[in-house]
Amino acid sequence: YIDRLRELSAKPYVQYVSIFRNYGKEAGASLSHAHSQIIAMPTVPRIIEEEMTASKKFYDQHQKCIFCDIIEKETKSSRLILDNTHFAVFTPYASVHPLEFWILPKKHAPTIRDLSKAEIEAFAETLKTSLKALKTLVNDPPYNYGFHLSINRDAENYYHWHLEIYPRLSIWAGFEKNTGIYINTVKPETSAAELRKNL
């Protein structure tokens, strides 16, 4: 991921590099073997743009990163799943998907491009442990994950990369598609407790 990100983000026409994985047919995986995908884009996607705008607004008001603030709060909350030297894993306060969880680095950085060897190893172990807990808990469900990052050095102070994991345990129907409002029948605190039990 990091090698491809470095290569692609160096191109002047690339504004964003999307790194994601679709696992299982229901999650959109088109090949049966394990794989991820990377797409270089000439624009920043809407979701990332909205995160960056909100992060910059918070930074301008409080002179600190909103994600660093979230990590500080979530490591003390009942939504915490896993906490180690380099990363925090938790279910977000307003999760869209049942058993959705995020992995955030404790060290502030806008991108994975500059991770140290120790951080890369810790991230790999954190991701493996978290996905194994999900697999054990709900019998190897389909899921998607995606890195949220910035390749724009201007975002260095206010944006914080993270990985979001979305298990595909429910189907969005008319209400969700018609309104953009999502019904999640599992509280994030319950999701966190169940995932913690299966670490």
Per DSSP, the three-state class of 44 is coil
Catalogue the active-site residues. Answer: 35
What does the alpha-carbon distance between residue 75 and residue 81 come to, in Å, rounded to a whole number? 9
d(CA 85, CA 12): 35
Spatial contact of 49 and 81, defined as CB atoms under 8 Å apart: no
- Which region holds residue 10: left if phi is over 0, alpha if psi is between -120 and 50, else beta? alpha
Residue with tokens 């955030």: 104
Which residues on neighbouring strands pair with residue 69, listed in sequence order? none
Amino acid at 18: S
Q: Compute the distance between CA of residue 142 and CA of residue 7 in angstroms, rounded to an integer.
A: 30
